[in-house]
Structure 1
Amino acid sequence: MPEYLTEEQIEQFNRDGYLLIPGFLDCTEAEVLLARAKQLLFEFPIENHPLTKFTTSDKNHVGDDYFLTSGDKIRFFLEEGALDEDGNLTREKQQAVNKIGHGLHEIDPLFRRVTLQNERIQSLVRDLKFHVDPVALQSMVITKQPEIGGEVPEHNDSTFLYTDPPSALGFWIALERCTPENGALSFLPGSHLKAPITKRFVRLPTGGTGFEFLATPEMEAQYAAASQGKYVLEACSPGDLVLIHGSVLHKSERNTSNKTRFAYTFHMIESPPRALYDAKNWLQPTPNMPFPHVLDEPNLKLVNPALA
């Protein structure tokens, strides 16, 4: 299989913790996924929906059964601003959804083709050498609805897809133009080398979800120092891919424009025995849908020191 990434791109990812790859999907491919996402929004039945809202707040993060059993399904999560005080939608259902998840990469043929049946993805994974035998999980279309698309505060992805050692890698594909006005991503370059994983998002024994704090005072101080740098906003065009190291700090602002900001994103983690993904994680594989292996032949040379 031919190489996809250049040495300069690999060095940039290792240095900055993220990499923007323009035109990973061509315009037609991006338009097809965007049209499919909009079709899913149009067709989903709001009548029986539990009105589960997605929030990034540490105190009120979503954790009901609709969310916890979504890993092998296609489900719809509403924006916080889409409901009034009485729980009624304030807008059409297509404009009320924050994201669609979390089994798109397995269930929907179009998203599966991009994620698991894509030679460019396999070539990229082999070139990057971040994983030896990666599995894919947690696929989503994130919509960033006009005027109510919420801010996503500073975070790293390994908090939410925790492995020991950390091994999460995000693939974020713009399906529409992403600008400062509609919530383009911002990154803190190099923070993956300095900011430790201080907490993890878990299923609580009493039900629901919460955070388990891992940090010592020294780790907290290290994280605080690492998060003081200058963020870089990365505007994207439809089809652009951003690779996101699981430890790099990133965020996005509220969508203050009158335009949506659709993006398709999925993650990979290393499979056992090189990394442990345990039962505390909110997202769990099921007998009918185990996490799929990305590479046919896991024969990459191990170069990620954290996974040695």
Structure 2
Amino acid sequence: MDFLTDQDAKKYQEDGYLILDGLLSPAECDELRLRMGEIVDRMDVPEHCRIQFSTNHDEQLKTQMQGNADYFITSGDKIRFFFEKGVFDDKGDFTVPKERSLNKIGHALHAYEPLYKTATHSPKIQGIAKKLGLKSPVILQSMYIFKQPGIGGEVTPHQDATFLHTEPLGRVMGVWIALEDATLDNGCLWFIPGSHNNGITRRMVRTPEGTYPLTDFVGREATYDDKLFIPAPVKKGGVVLIEGKVVHKSEQNASEKSRHVYTFHIMESQETKWNPENWLQPTEDLPFPALYTK
């Protein structure tokens, strides 16, 4: 029996997202979390991440911000660390335990970490893609998101296609796997069902080489009515499929429980043009790998 049914596929097409229980077993979730704990334990924190920004030194600030931006924009074929605000003091030391300092780790776990590679290319994921009619899906990026207790930041309403733009639109799908229960209290996702039918209003683009900042936005995010958002809590091991144009958000985690997630994006590459202005670009070291191979 297919993990994704015909009825599921229809609901995904109608709403722009879909929640499915039981993609991973609790033991598989724990294994992925344990491996991430090992990665965090031995992480090498980039020096520019420890710098206390100062607006009194404009040129210094520009250099520091450029370092942060460059660290992000060149992370597509690497495993890099991105921190919550306020977790370093003015000496560059942690103000919280380092395992609670991270916002996310990305963007190539699927390529370099065997456990995450296996989860990404699993038969269930491949079956979902085939059921949705994807002929030549490729993996664009992957992230481990921590949503730390008490400080896990809000993610404002957005569309993934703003950052991962294709021609035609609608060729990108997010796969969001809950490694712990994602609840109303610890910052589950919220969606506007059907909003993927309205196109996008904003694009994040690379700026011309040698200019600063390294990325900019074309257009503006639309204003959304809070009443239209529907919460999408999901149990540990469950998955949320996210159509690239659907509007979604998450609230700050004010609870005492983390909300760990492994998420990645896939794109139907057949008859699809990947925008050369996207921040994320395939590289010689890591072309976008095919989903249907390991």
Shorter-normalised TM range: 0.7 to 0.9
1:197 aligns with 2:195: no
Q: Deviations over 1:41-82 (max 9, x none)?
A: 111023x443179xxxxxx99962211111111111001132
Post-superposition shift, 1:251?
A: 0.3
Alignment match, 2:5: 6
Alignment match, 2:17: 18
1:39 aligns with 2:38: yes
Distance 1:188 1:229 in 2: 9
Post-superposition shift, 1:39?
A: 1.5
- Given that 1:52 and 1:62 are in contact with CA atoms closer than 8 Å, whether structure 2 keeps it comes out as no
Opposite residue 151 of structure 1, the aligned amino acid is: E
Alignment match, 1:82: 87
User: 1:23-172, aligned counterparts within 5 Å?
Assistant: 23-46=22-45, 48-51=46-49, 64-84=69-89, 87-116=92-121, 118-129=122-133, 131-166=134-169, 167-172=171-176
Q: What TM-score, normalized by structure 2, do the two folds share? A: 0.87
Distance 2:269 2:42 in 1: 35
Opposite residue 111 of structure 1, the aligned amino acid is: Y
Distance 2:31 2:189 in 1: 22
Cα separation, partners in 2 of 1:61 and 1:143, compared to 1, 3 Å: farther
Post-superposition shift, 1:188?
A: 0.8
Aligned counterpart for 1:281 among listed residues 278, 281, 288: 278
Distance 1:36 1:208 in 2: 35
Post-superposition shift, 1:252?
A: 0.3
- Given that 1:176 and 1:261 are in contact with CA atoms closer than 8 Å, whether structure 2 keeps it comes out as yes
Distance 1:171 1:260 in 2: 19
Alignment match, 1:250: 248
Q: Secondary structure at the match of 1:71?
A: coil
Post-superposition shift, 1:8?
A: 1.0
Opposite residue 270 of structure 1, the aligned amino acid is: E
**Structure 1: gaps of 5 or more residues:** 54-59, 297-308
Distance 2:102 2:111 in 1: 21
Cα separation, partners in 2 of 1:37 and 1:49, compared to 1, 3 Å: farther
Aligned counterpart for 1:177 among listed residues 181, 184, 191: 181
Cα separation, partners in 2 of 1:52 and 1:183, compared to 1, 3 Å: farther
Post-superposition shift, 1:180?
A: 1.3
Q: Deviations over 1:78-107 (max 9, x none)?
A: 011323466543212211110000000000
Q: Deviations over 1:211-248 (max 9, x none)?
A: 33257xxxx8xx55x75652111112111000000000
Q: Secondary structure at the match of 1:158?
A: helix
With 10-19 and 86-95 compared, the bigger mean Cα shift is at 86-95
Q: In the comparison of the two structures, how many residue pairs are matched?
A: 277
Q: Secondary structure at the match of 1:233?
A: strand
Cα separation, partners in 2 of 1:124 and 1:61, compared to 1, 3 Å: farther
Cα separation, partners in 2 of 1:121 and 1:110, compared to 1, 3 Å: same
User: 1:208-287, aligned counterparts within 5 Å?
Assistant: 208-214=213-219, 223-224=222-223, 230-271=228-269, 274-287=271-284
Distance 1:151 1:11 in 2: 30
- Given that 1:203 and 1:210 are in contact with CA atoms closer than 8 Å, whether structure 2 keeps it comes out as yes
Alignment match, 1:292: 289
Post-superposition shift, 1:110?
A: 0.3
Distance 1:208 1:291 in 2: 26
Q: Deviations over 1:148-178 (max 9, x none)?
A: 1100000010111111112210000000111
- Given that 1:52 and 1:66 are in contact with CA atoms closer than 8 Å, whether structure 2 keeps it comes out as no
With 204-213 and 236-245 compared, the bigger mean Cα shift is at 204-213
Q: CA RMSD in A?
A: 2.3
Distance 1:140 1:209 in 2: 21
Cα separation, partners in 2 of 1:119 and 1:52, compared to 1, 3 Å: farther
